Copies of this chain bind each other. A is one copy, B any other.
């Protein structure tokens, strides 16, 4: 049985709590949240506190809040020399106040409050300042997920950038496509099989080999026709930049 404290009640914290509540080998000792009402109904109210001073040492204390506040909150934790980890993809392990033993437990996934997420297939990246702390953090991660990776802070920083490209920016592409469809009364669902196939293809092909389209073919006539039909200046700029990047990438790798 691993005992944990949770600090935070945002997207990641909420999903983490929901998944931990399903595991017999994890015991949530206390949750500190500035806005404790967001957790109402999820867990007995006696476990939730609005005062950080109420936290007692646990096997692992998990800070799952905005990156900007991790450092400050970690310095206010009312105990020392315990394992304290954050869940941030872009923060260094060292942002945690060194009065406790530092670690990271970063689930690499996109979390929306409204959509349930099962952690079983979510990669969890772990790191600890002290090697001896790896055992218990690995155990906790292994209870939640089948995919546990040891990733250091430098790798995690790059991985987070890669995640922004492959998820946040990808979703923004979907958004632009959706708006283009709406403007012409085309049902967005018409693009859904294409979108799903595009994400499936890279399971068996490298993204480089999976690339298709006018930029890949250097089909300048189509590219010009497309640019003519795009009125929004930012969309035009995005189309031009990404087209050039695909072309350059093709040429440089010949």
Instruction: Report A's interface with B, CB cutoff 8 A.
Output: 11, 66-68, 90, 108-112, 114-115, 117, 121-123, 125, 147, 149, 151, 154-155, 157-178, 180-181, 183-187, 190-199, 201-217, 219, 221-222, 225-226, 229-230, 234, 237-239, 241-242, 244-246, 248-249
What's the nearest-Cβ distance from chain B to residue A239, in Å? Answer: 7
List B contacts of A151 (CB < 8 A): 186, 190
The answer for the CA separation of A199 and B154 in the assembled complex, in Å, is: 27
- Is A208 a contact partner of B162 (Cβ separation < 8 A)? no
Q: Number of copies of this chain in the oligomer? A: 2
- By beta carbon, the residue of chain B nearest A234 is B245
Secondary structure of the A contact surface, majority rule: helix
Task: Give the residue of B123, B171, B217 whose beta carbon is less than 8 angstroms from that of A202.
Answer: B171
List B contacts of A234 (CB < 8 A): 241, 244-245, 248
New contact pairs (17) apart from A161-B180, A172-B211, CB-CB < 8 Å: A67-B222, A90-B222, A112-B205, A114-B209, A115-B205, A117-B197, A155-B184, A158-B180, A159-B184, A159-B190, A164-B214, A164-B226, A166-B173, A169-B173, A170-B195, A171-B201, A175-B211
List B contacts of A214 (CB < 8 A): 90, 164, 168
- Is B108 a contact partner of A193 (Cβ separation < 8 A)? yes
- Known pairs A112-B212, A123-B190; A225 contacts B157 (CB<8 A): yes
The answer for the CA separation of A249 and B238 in the assembled complex, in Å, is: 14
